Chains A and B, each alone.
Chain A
Amino acid sequence: MTEPLFLHIAYAALTLFIVFNYGILLMGTTARIRARVQGRIGIPVWQPYIDIIKNNAKRTSVSHGVMFYLGPVFRLAGGIGTLMFIPVIFGSTVFGNFSFAGDVLLVIYFIFFGQLGMALGAGEGGHPYSAIGVSRGLAQMTAFEVPFTLSVIALVVQHGTLSITELVAAQQGGILAWHLFSNPLATAAALIAFLGMTGNNPFSVVTAPQEIPIGPPTEYQSSYMGMLQSNRAIFNGAKLVLYMNLFLGGAGNIFEMVLKTFALYMLTVIVGVSFPRFRPEQSIRFFLKIPAAIGILAVILTAL
């Protein structure tokens, strides 16, 4: 790290800006694709920008206390924290982000941290539906972390390193070096966990639109809502980039990153529109059976 600090901060801000915009355009594009599939015209691709501007331009807002305010802040911190330790473009000084030994565990922690903060904030809101959404969200998250962590452990055992950048470096050298092909069991377990992470059907019971009014963000409005929506874009982008780095070989340039993450996201969207919703106990049981078994098998086979 021989460059001055402000340059690092500038690069980090640039990465954040790019991933934020990418996440928003991704949300808008998939909504439009979904609409076209349903025979409608659909929202314009830049609609999430307008929603965020509109929410921040509300003139009043209602707060229920300090923790209510800190909930979205924690979630945003989780999203940014996840992003900052994943190399968006491998080998680039600008988008290479930070890395140190053990950062894969830190990234897993940040994913969980955001949801915890949101749970505390939503609980302070005092709305019963928020509490229901929060309990479902945390329960489901605990369940899908099992196959995900097992798969990450399998990768770590395979290469003997806990740093994401080194995991990406180990996947260079042709398509067959990707973990998708060199460790397919770990990829399978992690991709199933990814469905739970993105909150699409069949694991969308957390926000459960039309069932409980939106779940945890029920009481959030105005600028809090703007913050939550921005975080959604950043978090989506961060998770996609993480998966791309862990299983699809990282990206050498922006074009490759966009291609790989878009393909990954469309996979979850296609699964999402084809399925109805699981109840929380069904989804927990699902994650703890076959995906966990695949994960354990992956760890055992890799260790041998």
Chain B
Amino acid sequence: MSEADDKQQFIPDVEEEEARSTRGKIQLPNADMPIEDEGRFCSARPHVEAPFRGAIEKFLNWARSQSLWVLGFGTGCGAIELRPLMTARFDAYRYGIQGRPTPRQSSVFIIGGYVSLKTLKRIIRSYEQMQNPKFVIGLGSCTINGGMYWDSYNTINRIDNYIPVDVYIAGCMPRPEAILAGFKKLKERIRAGEAEGANEYAEHFDWYKENQKRIVKDWDMPDYNW
């Protein structure tokens, strides 16, 4: 019996675990930099980037609508409908929709399904790392008005208050055909020049930040573009 006890007894060291945990101890990299260097890191506000005018912008919008790189971050249950979308039957690649692993390189963020507070922090952080122009698709009813989890203690009801959304696709979960129709709508909006979510975010930055900080009570992230 003592051998069985020895094999099964794993007592983790409490102090060692405490020392390794970084909760509440995040030190921002620009904490003690001179003012002129601070802007290279976390405290630079976003600016509204004015689009070009006329035919140039039309052409660039056409190019942006033909090459949509989706961030590979499955925020909720919507991600399960994105997988059949990429396979042979529905084949989103022929519309120029490719998955990219990093927010730096992607231009479309698909918020699939419910957003809990834990996910909301990561969504904000990933969204701010994407480059202007960027587009957000809200997949499913939970992004519109809370959906099935409207009375849950941990999910938000309107993703609109925290990041700007371009297209909503209703459903629980929408089928791949519905998602393709939503992408088609997004392309129409991009070509018409209406999908300026990044500029909207920069313009109403204070309002968005205030909403985010009010809902996320343990804010331990930098303010922008980390």
Contact = CB atoms under 8 A, between A and B. Distances in A.
Interface of A: 35, 38-44, 47, 50-51, 53-54, 57-62, 209-210, 213-214, 217-222, 225
Interface residues of B, number: 24
Nearest to A41: B94
A38 B93 CA distance: 13
A38 B63 contact: no
A210 B66 CA distance: 23
A57 B94 contact: no
Contact of B94 (A44, A213, A219, A220): A44
Contacts of A61: 131
B67 A50 contact: yes
B132 interface: yes
B66 A50 contact: yes
Given A40-B88, A210-B101, A213-B101, A50 B63 contact: yes
Contact of B102 (A42, A43, A54, A214): A214
Contact of A222 (B94, B131, B225): B131
Contacts of A35: 91, 93
B121 interface: no
B96 A53 contact: no
A47 B88 CA distance: 18
Interface SS of chain B: helix, strand, loop or mixed? loop
B64 interface: yes
Given A58-B132, A62-B131, A51 B101 contact: no
Interface SS of chain A: helix, strand, loop or mixed? loop
23 contacts: A39-B88, A40-B91, A40-B93, A41-B94, A47-B96, A50-B96, A53-B67, A54-B63, A54-B107, A57-B63, A57-B64, A59-B49, A59-B132, A59-B133, A59-B198, A210-B101, A213-B101, A214-B102, A218-B101, A219-B102, A220-B104, A221-B131, A225-B105
Contact of A221 (B64, B67, B93, B105): B105
Given A62-B225, A221-B104, A51 B67 contact: yes
Interface of B: 49, 51, 60, 63-64, 66-67, 87-88, 91, 93-94, 96, 100-102, 104-105, 107, 131-133, 198, 225
Contact of A214 (B60, B66, B67, B101): B101
Contacts of A217: 105
Nearest to A222: B131
B93 A43 contact: yes
Contact of B88 (A38, A54, A222): A38
A113 to B, nearest CB: 25
Contacts of A47: 66-67, 96
Given A57-B60, A60-B131, A62-B225, A40 B101 contact: no
A60 B49 contact: yes
Nearest to B29: A126
B64 A43 contact: no
Given A50-B67, A57-B60, A218 B102 contact: yes
Q: Lowest 10 A-B CB distances belong to which pairs?
A: A213-B101, A59-B49, A221-B104, A39-B88, A59-B132, A53-B63, A54-B67, A57-B60, A60-B132, A40-B91
Contacts of A221: 104-105, 131
Nearest to A31: B93
Contacts of B87: 40
B93 A209 contact: no
Nearest to A47: B96
Contacts of A44: 94
A93 to B, nearest CB: 36
Nearest to B105: A221
Contacts of A51: 67
Given A62-B104, A218-B102, A220-B104, 8 more contacts: A42-B91, A51-B67, A54-B64, A57-B60, A59-B51, A214-B100, A214-B102, A218-B101
A274 B133 CA distance: 38
B93 A220 contact: no
Which of A57, A61, A62, A209 has the most chain B CB atoms closer than 10 A to its own CB?
A57
Nearest to B87: A40
A23 B88 CA distance: 26
Given A54-B67, A59-B133, A60-B49, A41 B102 contact: no
A98 B163 CA distance: 54
A204 to B, nearest CB: 14
Contacts of B133: 58-59
A145 to B, nearest CB: 29
A43 B131 contact: no
B69 to A, nearest CB: 8
